[in-house]
Amino acid sequence: MNAQTAAAIEAQGVSHAFSQATAPLAVLSDVSLTIRAGEMVSLLGPSGCGKSTLLNIIGGLLPPNAGSVRLDGQALSGIMPHKMSFVFQENALFPWNTVLENLLVALEFQGVPPAQRAPRAAAALAAVHMSEFSGFYPAQLSGGMKQRVALARGLSLQTDILLMDEPFAALDEQTRMVFGEDLSVMLAETGKTIVMVTHSLSEAVFLSDRIFVMTSRPGKIKAVVEVKKEHPRTPDFVVSEQFAAIRSELYELLHDEIRRSVESAQQIPKRDDG
């Protein structure tokens, strides 16, 4: 909860294109941004603007064609499982493991000593209120519950940085609201740096300290919008004037980009890990 001004993540001139049979598809063009430690930022933009790709690059999953990413001043050369953890959409949980086993195996991957795995897993599940479901299989859980488990998995790894790729996308409206509120509370308590990819304006405003608005493909940072409001944010923030003002600002920025991306609908590969 220290309002650090030190840069945790710094991207400089990042460009990336996917090779295809016909012609390379440029998805990011000269993106530069700085994310401070302890802040929560959203990458907001229309479909296909490269925001997930940018997240993967920041996370070290994908080396960019051009540009660089620095983490705490050090150049990023690959994944850093001790510094950053990912939360993908719900289907990233292992269906053949129970909720608890999913967390235990994640800790095993990270290299946590066996004795510490169970307590950390238990603590993370408690933090998301999923302790009673430890023995359940993902198939037995609802979408919202699965996302909470995915979040717990990310939390249990105790990394400073959490990268979330459209974590709400598969949830219904009501579950989203609840999940968003819980997340806001958690942010206030843990002080992690969180980078979230989303295409929902409301989510971005509710959760973020800053929002990077991206253009349609090839994505650039069009604008950076600040949300000056402390965490935890309560439901009444959603109906406040501040919220509405920021939301309209985002809408103005995004409207043309969204139209452009819908009209040029071309499928890009969702993930490319080289």
Partner 1 sequence: MSAAFRGKYGPLRLRILSIAVLLAVWEIAARWFIDPAFASPPSAVVAGFGHLFADPKVAGAVGSFFMELAVAFAIAVIAGLVVGLAVGATPFNYRSVFPIVLLLYAIPQVTVLPMFILFFGLGAASKIAFGASHGIFPIILNVVAGMKSVRPIHVISARTMGASKMQILRRVVLPQLVPSLFVGMRLAMAVTLLGVVLAELYVSTTGIGYFTQLFSEKFDPTDLFCLITVLAAIAIGLNELTRRLELHFSRWRSD
Residues that bind partner 1 (CB under 8 A): 59, 61, 79, 81-82, 84-86, 88, 91-92, 94-97, 105-106, 108-111, 137, 139, 157, 271, 273
Nearer to partner 1, 38 or 138 (CB): 138
Q: How far is the CB of 28 from partner 1 (least distance, A)?
A: 19
Look at the alpha carbons of 19, 22, 24, 27 in this order and tell me if their dihedral is positive or negative: negative
Q: How far is the CB of 107 from partner 1 (least distance, A)?
A: 8
Q: How far is the CB of 250 from partner 1 (least distance, A)?
A: 29
Q: How far is the CB of 42 from partner 1 (least distance, A)?
A: 20
Question: Over the range 244-266, which residues count as b (16 or more CB within 10 Å of their CB) and which as e?
Answer: eebbebbeebbeebbeebeeeee
Nearer to partner 1, 161 or 214 (CB): 161
Nearer to partner 1, 102 or 184 (CB): 102
Spatial neighbors of 62 by CB under 8 A, at least 6 apart, are 16, 53, 56, 272, 273, 274
Transcribe 5-69 into DSSP letters: -SEEEEEEEEEEEE--SSS-EEEEEEEEEEEETT-EEEEE--TTSSHHHHHHHHTTSS--SEEEE
Q: How far is the CB of 96 from partner 1 (least distance, A)?
A: 4
